[in-house]
Amino acid sequence: MVDAVAGETREIHDAAVQRLVQAGAVPVTWLSVASELQGTYENLATVEGFTGLMAEHSPTLGMYLQHYSALQSGGAVAA
């Protein structure tokens, strides 16, 4: 993940990321890592925590997930 380099300045951060990429690392976002860990929405033991994380840190995705959940449960959805 890009945040793993702990650079003190933007220049140091960018240089560290460049070195990681040169070594074969692929920078990813926290969203892609969280999604890979969740795997599927059928994993009911963790889906509530995952959607809560999305709603807290990615408001747009959180609203989509709430909308989708309401549609799946047959609830009314405001347009």
**What parts of the chain have a pLDDT lower than 50?**
none
CA angle 44–64–2, rounded 5-degree value = 80
Residue 23 pLDDT: 95
Predicted TM-score of the model (pTM): 0.55
Residue 3 CA, chain-centre distance (Å), reads 13
Directed axis angle between helix 44-57 and helix 30-38, to 10°? 160
Residue 68 pLDDT: 80
